[in-house]
């Protein structure tokens, strides 16, 4: 597990949210317009959380505060 030793917890969690956010458009197909808007909102939220977590992980890694 090469990546396990190099990636800290917020980056790993961010990558999980990124994968979930991207896969939602492939597997969830709402029938109504409201459903599509809600799906876009949830996907945007997931992608925003993933970006924030990955930036947090990078900042912690640069400061040496990674406590894995």
Residues 28/40, Cβ–Cβ less than 8 Å: no
pTM of the model: 0.74
| Cα distance between residue 28 and residue 42, in whole Å | 11
Lookup: tokens for 35: 């459903």
On whether residue 3 sits in a domain, the answer given is no
Give a yes or no: residue 1 inside a domain.
no
pLDDT of residue 52: 95
> What's the average pLDDT block by block, 10 residues per block, for the chain (68 residues)?
65 92 85 81 94 90 62
Other beta carbons within 10 Å of 33: 8
Rounded-to-integer distance, Cα 65 and Cα 67, Å? 6
pLDDT number for residue 54: 92
Backbone angles phi, psi at 32, to 5 degrees: -95, 160
pLDDT at residue 3, as a whole number: 53
The total of structural domains in the chain comes to: 1
Domain residues for the domain of 51 are 8-63
């Amino acid at each position: 597990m090469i990546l396990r030793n190099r990636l800290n917890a917020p980056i790993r969690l961010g990558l999980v949210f990124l994968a979930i956010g991207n896969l939602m458009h492939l597997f969830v197909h709402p029938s109504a317009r409201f459903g599509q808007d809600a799906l876009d909102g949830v996907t945007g939220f997931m992608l925003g959380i993933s970006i924030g977590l990955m930036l947090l992980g990078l900042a912690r890694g640069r400061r040496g505060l990674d406590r894995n």
